[in-house]
Amino acid sequence: MAGQQKRILIADDHEVVRSGLRALLSRRPDVTVVGEAANGREALAIARRTDPDIAIIDYSLPEIGGSELTVELRRRNPRIEVVIFTMLDQEDLIRSSLQSGARGFVFKSDPQTHLLEAIDALSIRRPYFSPTISETLLKQCYKSKPQKTATTLTVREREVVRLIAEGKINKGVADVLNISVKTVETHRASAMLKLNVKTTAELVRYAIRNRLIEA
């Protein structure tokens, strides 16, 4: 997706929001809005026809909500990236969105640049949480005790997890640690197996909870 035209689906039940997003994205020559939906069911139908790269989804969509829609979109196309775009600031909502497979989360009250940064990050398979989201996650995770599995990771595995949680792709981790991409993949797979996690979002939560990074 990086360096190519980014195909965007917008799903929000407020026409004024869809219009504003369309106007914002129209300023970007590398972005094409392939469809707009006012509810989750319509968004699924449009996604089937247009095969978007990124979906910008309101969490509180009618008919099919944001989390359920994210699960369904990624079940049909695991390569689609999802940004949850909402006005609701609730820890359980953030947690639900991450668990559903969304790797971007931006508040509607955030500056417009945050949404554009999320699109750019997801286009190169990097997660993006706005600064406000990160603060909320940090507060939530600091209330939890560090996982007992923290000490089971090797030093190198912890380094790999930390860099991935900071948003680096495998090649970026390899460059920082001066190791091969294959070695990074091996450490990453080993760490995820030990931690019993399956997604990058879960690795991010683990890294925050165990103080490997500052959110």
Which of 111-125, 134-148, 176-190 has the least mean pLDDT? 134-148
Listed in order, strand segments (DSSP E) in the chain are: 6-11, 31-37, 54-57, 81-86, 104-107, 128-129
What is the tens place of the pLDDT at every residue in 183-197? 999 888 888 888 888
Is the CATH number of domain 144-209 1.10.10.10? yes
Query: Residue 32's pLDDT is what?
Result: 96
Q: Residue 12 has what pLDDT?
A: 96
* Pairing of the two strands 104-107 and 81-86: parallel
- Using alpha carbons only, give the angle 76, 81, 85 rounded to the nearest 5 degrees: 115
Domain ranges of the chain: 6-140, 144-209
Matching residue, tokens 């683990």: 206
- Mean residue pLDDT of the chain comes to 85
CB within 8 A of 97, min separation 6: which ones?
Answer: 59, 66, 67, 70, 84, 105
DSSP 144-198: SPPPGGGGGS-HHHHHHHHHHHTT--HHHHHHHHT--HHHHHHHHHHHHHHHT--
What is the pTM for the complete model shown?
0.64
Q: What's residue 27's pLDDT?
A: 92
Return the higher-pLDDT residue of 52 and 197: 52
Q: Does the CA dihedral 158-163-167-171 come out positive or negative?
A: negative
5: number of Cβ within 10 Å: 13
* pLDDT tens digits along 146-158: 444 444 678 788 8
**Phi and psi torsions of 177, nearest 5°:** -90, -5
Structure-block tokens of residue 190? 């080993």
Secondary structure class of 32 (helix, strand, coil): strand
- Please name the fold of domain 6-140: Rossmann fold (3.40.50)
**Percentage helix, strand, coil, to 5, in the chain?**
55, 15, 35
Q: Is the pLDDT of residue 145 over 50?
A: no
Position 204 confidence tier, pLDDT thresholds 50, 70, 90: confident
pLDDT(56) > 50: yes
